[in-house]
Amino acid sequence: MTQADTGPRHIAALDLGSLTVRLAVAEPGGLQGFRILAHYREITSLGQGLAETGELAPEGMDRTFQALKVFCQVLADYQVEKVRIVATHAVRVARNAPAFLAQLRVSLGLTVEVLSPEEEARLSLQGVLSALAPRYLERSILVCDVGGGSSEFALVRPGLEPRFASLPLGVLTLSQAHPLGDPPEPKKVEVLHQELSQRLGRLRDRTFPPDLMGSARLVGTAGAVTTLAAMHLKLTAYEADRVNNLVLTRAQVEELTGLISRLPEAERVRLPGLEPAKAKVMVAGALIILTILEVFSRDSLVAIDAGLLEGVLASFEF
């Protein structure tokens, strides 16, 4: 894609997530090296059926293809000079992902980079740091990126290299692998909660034991965390600036988790701050966030809207 030599230089980051496809268009400059001009997103559930079949379902691939056609027009409208397109868990593990990526390359001219779990965690961390208030960097932080298909973790300690880990726990894949009923059945919710405690507990013991964690503050990014923040604020229209650096207490997360775990989906969609398209997966999402707080014995976390997309934008060199 080209643009006139005299026009502004535009860059873009595009993320093929397991639940959501997202696009950010930016221009170089500013303290972080970029200024975002526009955000676009579409919930396409690319990872639909992955937990059961090991493959991307035709419906999810078609929804994603249609969303990407629209995004291609956005890239053309902004005369984007450089674009980096990344894919995460669903494309990383699906047996039929290579054929889908070939279709995108041939039909839309899009070359997709499939990130490893560590690459995803590194880029997400870079994006989080672009929006995290400096006061939170005075001590260690554990960044948790809970996505549609997996969750990435990064422990940042002053003067030391970050420590990364990943688990195949995402709001979409978990919702599909553990149907809870509508409304959710309390026994099934408790079973899922216990399984999350065990799996996250093993991650803690293996990668982030207390002697490494110290007093590290939890920082959360991606849709599950930002949705809980929006619900806490009762936002009728999403406002990233109000979500960034909002502190959510464990008690607040527990209250919100209890609320959405009791309601049928038809009532969850009416809750302020909860995007209707996420109502089906947010019980699992809230449980993941609550269990992270419990397993790491933390009373609160800092919510950050910025993440993988911003990290991809920061990776451009000029």
- Say if 73 falls within a structural domain: yes
Question: Do 82 and 143 share a domain, yes or no?
Answer: no
Q: What is the CATH classification number for the domain harbouring 163?
A: 3.30.420.150
Calpha distance 10→37 (Å, rounded): 9
Q: What is the CATH classification number for the domain harbouring 80?
A: 3.30.420.40
Question: Do 141 and 277 share a domain, yes or no?
Answer: yes
Question: Do 277 and 178 share a domain, yes or no?
Answer: yes
Question: Do 161 and 257 share a domain, yes or no?
Answer: yes
- The whole model's pTM is what? 0.88
Task: Say whether 101 sits in a helix, a strand or coil.
Answer: helix
- Say if 126 falls within a structural domain: no
Q: pLDDT by residue for the chain (318 residues), tens digit each?
A: 344 444 558 999 999 999 899 999 999 877 677 889 999 999 999 998 888 899 999 999 999 999 999 999 999 999 999 999 999 999 999 999 999 999 999 999 999 999 999 899 999 999 999 899 999 988 899 999 998 888 999 999 988 899 999 998 899 888 988 899 989 999 999 999 999 999 999 999 999 998 889 899 999 998 899 999 999 999 988 898 999 999 999 999 999 999 999 999 999 999 999 988 889 999 999 999 999 999 999 999 999 998 899 999 998 875
Other Cβ atoms less than 10 A from the Cβ of 212: the count is 15
Question: Do 173 and 269 share a domain, yes or no?
Answer: yes
Q: Which domain, by its residues, includes 163? A: 133-309
Calpha distance 25→2 (Å, rounded): 15
Both tokens assigned to 280? 């089906």
Question: Do 69 and 143 share a domain, yes or no?
Answer: no
Strands 246-249 and 20-28, how do they pair? unpaired
Question: Do 169 and 222 share a domain, yes or no?
Answer: yes
Calpha distance 137→156 (Å, rounded): 9
- The overall longest dimension of the chain from CA atoms, in Å, is 63
| Helix-helix angle 97-108:58-77, to 10 degrees | 30
